[in-house]
Amino acid sequence: MKVERNNSHSGSKYVAPINSSEIQYDPRGDAFKHPVKHYDTARVRSVSEALEAFNNTSFQSRNFGRCYKIWMNMLTDPDRPIIFFGLSGAMIPGGMRRVVRDLIAFHAIDVLVSTGANLSHDLYESLGGRHYMAH
């Protein structure tokens, strides 16, 4: 008789014979099912292709690709959900002021939720102030 168990954390399964100490178990689970595909700049012809290609890489570029995929799904959903955009950190001093403006102008986001710091940074630049890079 054998008992099948599912390791819910990794999604892997093992079969443990009841009358034996031998356990057939794949500790890798799904870890080796999706190899990294190296980003090939020669094949990319647009920003959207670049972001889609990031889905097959690793680390933060993959997260960037995932964000793009989720965002495109929201924009093309027939029921078009309301898109909230959370803005935190020093994004305005970091040079993202026009990006935020364009997201609003092109209706890529519906609601902007910001920290007070970003509002004061934007007001500062609106009044002629500048932010500088420290090297």
Interval 74-131: pLDDT, tens: 999 999 999 999 998 888 999 999 999 999 999 999 999 999 999 999 999 999 999 9
Q: Is 125 exposed, middle or buried (0-12, 13-18, 19+ CB in 10 A)?
A: middle
**Domain, as residue range, for 63:** 34-81
20 compared with 115, residue with greater pLDDT: 115
Q: How many structural domains is the chain composed of?
A: 3
For residues 46-68, average pLDDT: 87
60 lies in the same domain as 73: yes
Instruction: Report the pLDDT value the prediction gives residue 25, as an integer from 0 to 100.
Output: 62
Same domain, 55 and 89: no
State mean pLDDT over 13-27. Answer: 57
Asked whether residue 88 falls in the same domain as residue 128, the answer is yes
Strand partners, 6: 13
Report pTM.
0.59
Both 93 and 46 in one domain: the answer is no
Q: 19 and 53, same structural domain? A: no
Domain boundary among 64, 81, 98: 81
- Are 48 and 90 members of one domain? no
The whole-angstrom separation of Cα 61 and Cα 69 is 12
Verify that 15 and 46 share a domain, yes or no: no
